[in-house]
Amino acid sequence: MERSCTFVPCDSTLHRIFSLYRSNKLCDVNARQRFNEIPDISDTVYQVSTSFRADKRLFTRHPTTRVVSEHKYPFTTLPQFTLSVHPCLALLSSVGVTLDSRRSFPLAQEIHSFMMWSHFRIPTAPSPCPSLTDDSTASEDSLHTVASTHSKKHSAPDNAAKTRNLTRHPQIDGRKVLGVRHMNTGALDVVHVDERWPTKRSRVVLEDVTRPKNVVQRRVNPSRAVWR
**55-68 pLDDT per residue, tens:** 788 888 888 888 99
- Given a cut of 80, whether residue 84 has pLDDT beyond it is yes
Q: Cα separation of 70 and 59, whole Å? A: 5
Domain membership flag for residue 149: no
Q: Of the segments 10-19, 101-110, 150-159, 177-186, which one has the largest average pLDDT value?
A: 10-19
Together in a domain, 102 and 184: no
Same domain, 17 and 94: yes
For the cut 80, the answer to whether the pLDDT of residue 54 exceeds it is no
Q: Is 211 within a domain? A: no
More confident residue, 187 or 54: 54
Is there a single domain that holds both residue 30 and residue 81?
yes
> Which pLDDT belongs to residue 176?
46
Q: Number of folded domains in the chain?
A: 2
Residue 152 pLDDT > 70: no
Domain contains 179:
yes
Is 218 part of a structural domain of the chain? no
pLDDT, one tens digit per residue, over 95-140 is 766 555 545 678 888 888 887 765 555 666 666 666 655 555 555 5
The Cα-based distances of 173 to 192, 198, 199 in angstroms read 15, 21, 19
Q: Are residues 18 and 96 in the same domain?
A: yes
Q: Is 75 within a domain?
A: yes
Q: Which pLDDT value is given to residue 180?
A: 47
Indicate if 104 and 11 belong to the same structural domain: yes
Model pLDDT, residue 177: 46
Domain membership flag for residue 29? yes
Close Cβ partners of 52 (under 8 Å, ≥ 6 residues apart)? 4, 5, 58, 73, 75, 102
Res 40 pLDDT > 80: no
Q: What's the domain range around 168?
A: 157-200
DSSP-based three-state secondary structure for 222:
coil
Question: Does one domain contain both 69 and 14?
Answer: yes
Q: Does residue 50 sit in the same domain as residue 108?
A: yes
More confident site: 40 or 140:
40
Whether 17 and 103 map to the same domain: the answer is yes
Q: How far is CA 85 from CA 15, 17, 36, 82, 93, in A?
A: 18, 15, 11, 9, 11
Q: What is the pTM of this model?
A: 0.45
pLDDT at 3 over 70: no
- Do 97 and 184 fall within a single domain? no
Is position 184 within any domain?
Answer: yes
Are both 98 and 164 inside the same structural domain? no
CA geometry: angle at 227 spanning 222 and 228, to 5°? Answer: 115
pLDDT for residue 132: 59
- Asked if 47 and 107 sit in the same domain, the reply is yes
- Model pLDDT, residue 78: 82
In a 13 Å sphere around the CA of 96, the CA atoms on its Cβ side amount to 6
162 and 102 within one domain: no
Question: pLDDT (tens digit, 9 = 90+) per residue, 186-200?
Answer: 554 444 455 555 555
Could you give the CA distance from residue 110 to residue 22 in angstroms, rounded to a whole number? 12
